[in-house]
Structure 1
Amino acid sequence: MTESTPGRRRGDDLEHAIFDAALAELAEVGYANVRMEAVAARAKAGKASLYKRWPDRARLIQAAARYKATEVEPSFEPSGDLRGDMRKVMRHIAGQQASPFGEAIRGWIGELKSTPDEVTEDLRTRIETPRIRIFAKIYEDGVARGTVKPEALHPRVVNLAPGLLTHYFLTRAEPATDDVIEEFLDHVLMPLIATGEGAERLEES
């Protein structure tokens, strides 16, 4: 069987198959043990197909993470339940961190010194921007309802929830549990962003 035969895929189809194989291999063996040959075998692609696009494991995993980053967040509309909406999105992020995507990000962090600045910034933007957009939407809805302080719309505050989850994930090597998410909400986030009216509604619920 020739290298071009196994599936006769080209372009995006081939790349996506390789990315999926890389993430599956990552989940099974961990970042340190990922080998280009194993990814090629899993994707049913020739090794040359990988090395033609990515010179090494680090570049391949970074590309796979960028590809997967587009699937990190679902479309989301606020329900009016400020704490409930935040908890839902935070649980989703923690779930993603427990997936091969999370392992890819952890591996990428370990390779930062050898990663070009433009690649680092591109990946950071692909990961952070959808999450910031969702929390901004939740906070904007809360401001309109009178449950969120207007100053909560500052970019640093909007990015605080995903930032807390990422810090926990990277320093503990595991995603935040539901109990940890509840602590973040009750002791950090809600006291910071909720108005008196928002706090009263939280107590009533």
Structure 2
Amino acid sequence: MSEKKLDLINVGRITAVFGIKGWVKVHSYTEPQENLFEYHPWWLKTAHGVKKVEIDDARPHGDAFVAHIVGVDDRDLAMEFTGFDIAIERDLMPELDDGEYYWSQLEGLAVYTQFSGTRQRLGIVSKLFETGANDVLVVVGDAESIDQKERLVPYVPEQFVLSVDLTAGEILVDWDPEF
């Protein structure tokens, strides 16, 4: 029997232990955050590969959540899971409408600007973050970019982000390279 290669996407992180009965604190990357618990199983990304776990209970706690991993019933065992990213199989993610993208689809794409009519490579998307008003692309210089600067480009379609081409692996922006 051949084992299929897992196509995983990070959806959260175990940040700390909680209490003495094996519970862990969890930070969710999903929107809304409680959607994290709709996905089963979780795959924890450890230094020794991925480990499949199931959650049998979870609840909000402050600005994050606490959860109980099946078979983990004491603090010391729970401690072994802290610091691990939580991933799920990509095909569990809901389909998005045209023009909508998961952050994980944008990370690693090459970013080109056509500011002042000349196409120039600014670098690659290293990550994204939220500001409240809009998401922001963190673009870092690479071997093919015009320089090694880090740029923060607002993810505002039609204003700064002109197109996203997942097939070509690139994003076209209208952004002054001086910023």
TM-based fold match above 0.5: no
Greater RCO (CA < 8 Å, at least 6 residues apart): 1
Which range, TM-score by smaller chain?
A: under 0.3
Give the number of the structure whose residues are more often strand, by fraction: 2
TM-score, reference length from structure 1: 0.25
TM-score, reference length from structure 2: 0.27
